[in-house]
Amino acid sequence: MNIKRTMSSRIQKVATVHFRPTAVLMHALFCVLFFSANATPAQEDTEMEQTVPTDPYKGLKAFDRAQGMLLQIKKKGVLRIALNEDIHPFHIANPRQGYPGIDVELAQLLAEYLQVKLEFQYTSLNDLLRLVHTHQVDLAFGGVSSNLARGRYVYFSEPYVRTSAGALVAKRALPPESDSVEYNPKRFRQIGDLNQAGILTLGVQRNTANHELLLTDREFQKHKVVPFDNHKQMIESLKNGEIDAMIADSIFIQSQVARDSSLQSAYKALLEVYRPEFLSVVVPRGELALLQEVNFFLRELNRSGELKGVIDRYLENNNWIPEGE
């Protein structure tokens, strides 16, 4: 019995000596594995962050597989655009700093999108379509409205401005306005209301959508229509009393009233929509790739609110009016 107890005591001592270090080592190994497991994701995240490219388009070619005129524009690095000269507020010949005109600003943004330089050619409205049709320019801006006759010769982009024919009428030519319910009310808000006046002499720019409207719409058959080559001649004729009213896009009428405050006392602006007109970019026929890029550009400007921002800068205030006017 004494021998067994002695042996048992020795075994316990040996076990104590040999098992305690093993437990310590196991605990240490557990700690190492625990902290290593927790440290590894942070290291992996850091490595992943270092491998993420700063340019998501790296290695891609902009406007890859461009065709037709779009390909030529990219090769030459120049976008040629025809503009209707000095038609406020689309183009301003002697602009204030930062206010070159709606069409000029949109053309600049388009060239920036296409990553090319910009080259303008200024001309009259009647020559815009011809320059595009004969490929003397790549595109045309200039307050050009679409219609079926013009569509035979050029493409029109999605509209970037929605407007209507408006009028600036000499107040002397209008009867007093009345809202009476007992008699036929006389209110002058849009050009169709001119039927409530007598026979008027209406000025309009020659060969425009507004000219066609006055000649074909029965609402205006009783009036005398006088065509002019440009807006400047028409405004002078209105001020001289040679015509009773000038018919033009409402956005142009609005800009003229903003430019010349004296017009408000002697003339009434009719700006409400009579028949909607759509102003578009003019694109050569057959150039579908170019048309697609222009439409995409306009849609994105509209979606982002940038298009509205450009237009509102000219219609919501008169800061754009050239000095000395």
Q: Class of the 68-162+278-315 domain?
A: alpha beta
- Tell me the pTM: 0.74
DSSP structure class, residue 240: T
> Are the CB atoms for 202 and 244 separated by under 8 Å?
yes
Confidence band for 6, pLDDT divided at 50, 70 and 90: very low
Q: Residue 235 and residue 248: Cα distance in Å, rounded?
A: 11
Domain boundaries, the chain: 68-162+278-315, 163-276
Report the CATH architecture of 163-276: 3-Layer(aba) Sandwich (3.40)
pLDDT single digits (tens) 261-293? 788 889 999 999 999 989 999 999 999 999 999
Q: What are all long-range contacts of 65-69, with beta carbons under 8 Å and residues at least 24 apart? A: 66/289, 67/289, 68/286, 68/287, 68/288, 68/289, 68/290, 69/135, 69/138, 69/284, 69/287, 69/289, 69/290
DSSP structure class, residue 97: T
- Asked if 68-162+278-315 and 163-276 have one fold, the answer is yes
pLDDT single digits (tens) 133-187? 999 999 999 888 888 889 999 999 999 999 999 999 999 999 887 765 555 667 8
* Per-residue model confidence (pLDDT) at position 13: 46
First to last CA, the chain: 127
Mean pLDDT of 89-94: 89
pLDDT single digits (tens) 227-261? 999 888 999 999 999 999 999 999 999 888 888 87
Q: Residue 133 and residue 131: Cα distance in Å, rounded?
A: 6
